[in-house]
Homo-oligomer: A and B are copies of this chain.
Amino acid sequence: MRILVVGGAGFIGSCLCSALIREGHLVICVDNLSRGTEENIELIKKEDRFSFYQVDATRVEEMFGIFEEEKPEYVFHLAANSDIQASARNPEIEYQNTYTTTFQLLQCMRKYEVKKLLFASTSAVYGNKPGSMLDEMASGLSPISYYGAAKLGSEALISAFSYMNDMRSVVFRFPNVIGPYLTHGVIYDFIRKLKKDNSCLEILGDGRQRKPYMYISDLICAILDLMENVKPGMEIYNIGVESTTSVTEIADILCEEMGLDNVRYSYTGGSGGWKGDVPEFQYSLDKIHAIGWKAELTSNEAVRKTIKHILGKESWRQK
Residue A26, interface by CB 8 Å = no
Residue A246, interface by CB 8 Å = no
A162 → chain B, closest Cβ, in Å?
9
Q: A99-B99, A143-B156 are in contact. Are A161 and B110 (CB under 8 A)?
A: no
Chain B contacts of A164 at CB under 8 A? 88, 144-146, 275-276
Closest to A91 in B: B107
A139 touches B142 (CB 8 A): no
Residue A95, interface by CB 8 Å = yes
Q: Which of A5-13, A147-155, A255-263, A303-311 contacts B (4 or more CB under 8 A)?
A: A147-155
Residue A186, interface by CB 8 Å = no
Produce 1/0 per residue, A81-110, CB < 8 A to B: 000000010011001000110010011001
Distance of A98 Cα from B163 Cα, bound (Å): 19
Residue A180, interface by CB 8 Å = no
Point out which of A99, A107, A136, A154 has the most chain B C-beta atoms below 10 A from its C-beta: A99
Distance of A223 Cα from B211 Cα, bound (Å): 41
Closest to A154 in B: B153
Residues of A within 8 A of B (CB-CB), count: 41
A130 → chain B, closest Cβ, in Å?
14
Distance of A140 Cα from B156 Cα, bound (Å): 10
Distance of A159 Cα from B146 Cα, bound (Å): 9
A276 touches B160 (CB 8 A): yes
A100 → chain B, closest Cβ, in Å?
8
A284 → chain B, closest Cβ, in Å?
13
Distance of A95 Cα from B139 Cα, bound (Å): 25
A149 → chain B, closest Cβ, in Å?
4
Chain B contacts of A142 at CB under 8 A? 156, 159, 163, 233-234
Copies of chain A in the complex: 2
Distance of A103 Cα from B145 Cα, bound (Å): 14
Residue A127, interface by CB 8 Å = yes
A156 touches B153 (CB 8 A): yes
A153 touches B157 (CB 8 A): yes
Chain B contacts of A233 at CB under 8 A? 142
A146 touches B127 (CB 8 A): no
Residue A141, interface by CB 8 Å = yes
Distance of A149 Cα from B95 Cα, bound (Å): 15
A149 touches B160 (CB 8 A): yes
B159 touches A143 (CB 8 A): yes
Residue A133, interface by CB 8 Å = no
A149 touches B144 (CB 8 A): no
14 sampled A-B residue pairs with Cβ under 8 A: A91-B160, A92-B107, A139-B139, A142-B234, A143-B159, A144-B160, A144-B164, A146-B157, A146-B161, A149-B156, A149-B157, A149-B160, A149-B161, A164-B276
User: Which 7 pairs, one residue from A and one from B, show the smallest C-beta to C-beta distance?
Assistant: A153-B153, A149-B160, A139-B139, A152-B156, A144-B163, A149-B156, A142-B159
Q: Residues on A close to B: CB < 8 A? A: 88, 91-92, 95, 99-100, 103, 106-107, 110, 125, 127-128, 136-146, 148-150, 152-154, 156-157, 159-161, 163-164, 233-234, 275-276
